[in-house]
Amino acid sequence: MNKNPIKIVETVLRDGHQSLAATRMRTSDMIPVLREMDNIGYYALEAWGGATFDACLRFLDEDPWERLRTIKKYVRKTPLQMLLRGQNILGYNHYADDVVREFVFRSVDNGIDIIRIFDALNDVRNLECAMKATKDAGAHAQGAIVYTISPYHKNEDFLRVAQDLIDMGADSICIKDMAGLLSPYAAYDLVKTLKEKTSVPINVHSHCTSAMASMTYLKAIEAGADIIDTAISPFSRSTSQPATEPFVYTLAGRERDTGIDLQKLHSLADYFNIVKLDLAKTFNLNTDIPVDPKVLTFQIPGGMLSNLLRQMKEQGAEDKYPELLKEMPKVRAELGYPPLVTPTSQSVGSMAALNVTLGRYKMIPKEVKDLVRGKYGHTPGPIDPIIKKMIMGDEEPIGHRPADDIPPQMEKMAKNLAEAGYPNATKEDILSYALFPDVALTYFGKHRCENPVCPKNCK
Ligand code: CO
């Protein structure tokens, strides 16, 4: 048995289909291979969180909690992992601490073993509550640092964030590169720094958006990374993770041999190929998303570039598009270098579009004002003082942890749900409602009858 294998987190049940199939994989698509997956020898299966929760309720008529319990029923040995957006849980707004805490506890109770927690701005105060709850619930708390490129995202900045997370109890650290910007040599240096200065396992999570991620992983492995996130081939590459199989083959017989049997992966890939074709057909999806190395120059995902171009065309301002490409990095710098991932990418993009069409900062969207006010936390770099003055006047920015302003919400949510006709709602249902009220109510309307003599026996 190899003493130092690279550990593999298989992402097909979460990020793989979130990236390539609009998060439409159904529980029934997963069940037939879950036992097989449990026997492969993965370090963990990323199977929940991110957009899967919303997609279950909104598009698939499924209860996400039920999905988790079902997966757990089949996956007995391999830890189940989820992705949590710190104080935002699975969305883009801050929730009260009692909701975050309850959500973490219910997740662990229903089957989650490892929780990867991140904040888009790397403001560790937004991870505090979720990290503590994860530790209290007895699960593995993985603190994630969001990777991006800016004068305020140097190795020493990332190291500082990692150390803060370890001080909060992080059991491992993930370098989370959502946009695929982490280059092979940058990864090598960053992983080396983290391995030298910390003593927890280092996990690298990237996307093939710029077509660099496989090279990036290999250099990260050479630098001593402990864990990589990959997706079985049919749900790999383009905007998803690198494929699992080439890593198993590349490292076989070497120092970092994964210990995984490639034949088993081939059979799994055959199965997921069929699932992918079926999802594309059923939901009318284009799963053949091209890679987009332009992200390396513009640091903006290609999807967003084409959206902006379309918006400009609609406003008859197509000729301003080259100007917009120059305006984006300027706005990003003025707003303190937020990473260009959802939702800050939208804020920066729409601000830049307004600037080139109406004049600089003549009209400012609410999300941009909130970012400047500190409503999401500290931006990585300082906000341009002139812009700040323009938006806030003499108002002081929020200096404390943003969630400190939010009073407890669980009781109120339970009360609202009771008033909506569900006085006996479970904690899980209350959380579904707290996170996605409209879609949860639609789902409950179909599946949660409080009538004790319901003719449809729907309980
Ligand atoms: Co990802």
Ligand 1 centroid distance, CA of 177 (Å): 7
- My answer on whether 398 and 413 are in the same domain is no
Is position 459 within any domain? no
CA dist., res. 55 & res. 99, Å (int): 20
- My answer on whether 241 and 388 are in the same domain is no
Is position 458 within any domain? no
Supply the mean pLDDT for the chain: 94
CA dist., res. 297 & res. 369, Å (int): 27
SS (H, E, C) 264-332: HHHHHHHHHHHHHHHHHHHCCCCCCCCCCCCHHHHCCCHHHHHHHHHHHHHCCCHHHHHHHHHHHHHHH
Ligand 1 centroid distance, CA of 83 (Å): 9
**CATH (domain of 328):** 1.10.472.90
pLDDT band at 449 (very low <50, low <70, confident <90, very high): confident
Is position 289 within any domain? no
Is position 290 within any domain? no
Is position 291 within any domain? no
**CATH (domain of 160):** 3.20.20.70
CA dist., res. 238 & res. 400, Å (int): 39
**175 DSSP β-pair partners:** 145, 204
In 10 A of CB 357, how many CB atoms? 17
pLDDT value of position 361: 95
Ligand 1 centroid distance, CA of 240 (Å): 7
The yes-or-no verdict on residue 453 having pLDDT over 70 is no
> Which of 282, 310, 338 is the last residue in one of the domains?
282
- My answer on whether 165 and 313 are in the same domain is no
- My answer on whether 236 and 329 are in the same domain is no
- My answer on whether 159 and 262 are in the same domain is yes
pLDDT value of position 310: 84
The yes-or-no verdict on residue 28 having pLDDT over 70 is yes
> Which of 249, 282, 315 is the last residue in one of the domains?
282
pLDDT value of position 292: 83
pLDDT value of position 294: 82
Ligand 1 centroid distance, CA of 178 (Å): 5
Range of the domain at 351: 300-403
Domain count, the chain: 3
Ligand 1 centroid distance, CA of 207 (Å): 6
**Across 33-41, average pLDDT:** 98
pLDDT value of position 147: 96
The CA–CA distances, whole Å, from 183 to 143, 146, 344, 365 equal: 21, 14, 22, 33
Ligand 1 centroid distance, CA of 95 (Å): 22
Ligand 1 centroid distance, CA of 205 (Å): 7
**Across 159-178, average pLDDT:** 97
Report pLDDT digits (tens) over 361-410: 999 999 999 999 999 999 999 999 999 999 888 888 898 999 999 999 99
Is position 27 within any domain? yes
**CATH (domain of 426):** 1.10.10
Residue 133 Cα to chain centre, angstroms? 19
Give the Cα-Cα-Cα angle 364, 54, 128 (nearest 5 degrees). Answer: 70
CA dist., res. 21 & res. 117, Å (int): 23
pLDDT value of position 306: 77
Sequence-distant (≥ 6) Cβ neighbours of residue 343 within 8 angstroms: 92, 120, 367
- My answer on whether 22 and 118 are in the same domain is yes
**Across 268-276, average pLDDT:** 98
pLDDT band at 300 (very low <50, low <70, confident <90, very high): confident
- My answer on whether 193 and 328 are in the same domain is no
Token pair of 10, please?
């298989």
φ, ψ (nearest 5 deg) of residue 23: 60, 30
List CB-based neighbours of ion ligand 1 within 5 Å: 15
The CA–CA distances, whole Å, from 122 to 127, 144, 255, 443 equal: 9, 8, 33, 34
Ligand 1 centroid distance, CA of 206 (Å): 6
CB 181 within 8 A of CB 295: yes
Query: Which residue type sits at 73?
Result: K
pLDDT value of position 451: 61
Helix residue ranges per DSSP H, 119-243: 128-136, 155-167, 184-197, 213-222
Ligand 1 centroid distance, CA of 310 (Å): 26
Q: Classify residue 230 as exposed, middle or buried by CB count within 10 Å of its CB (0-12, 13-18, 19+).
A: buried
Is position 1 within any domain? no
The yes-or-no verdict on residue 307 having pLDDT over 60 is yes
CA dist., res. 331 & res. 310, Å (int): 20
CA dist., res. 329 & res. 346, Å (int): 13
The residue with tokens 């994630």 is 144
- My answer on whether 251 and 327 are in the same domain is no
- My answer on whether 416 and 389 are in the same domain is no
CB 160 within 8 A of CB 194: no
Higher pLDDT, 333 or 450: 333
- My answer on whether 306 and 436 are in the same domain is no
The yes-or-no verdict on residue 132 having pLDDT over 80 is yes
pLDDT band at 233 (very low <50, low <70, confident <90, very high): very high
φ, ψ (nearest 5 deg) of residue 81: -120, 150
- My answer on whether 328 and 359 are in the same domain is yes
Ligand 1 centroid distance, CA of 238 (Å): 12
Is position 287 within any domain? no
Ligand 1 centroid distance, CA of 330 (Å): 26
- My answer on whether 239 and 320 are in the same domain is no
**Across 157-168, average pLDDT:** 98
CA dist., res. 155 & res. 193, Å (int): 7
% of the chain at pLDDT higher than 90: 83
Kindly provide the b/e burial profile for residues 320-342, where b requires at least 16 CB atoms within 10 angstroms of the residue's own CB.
bbeebbebbbebbbbbbbbbbbe
> Which of 221, 251, 282 is the last residue in one of the domains?
282
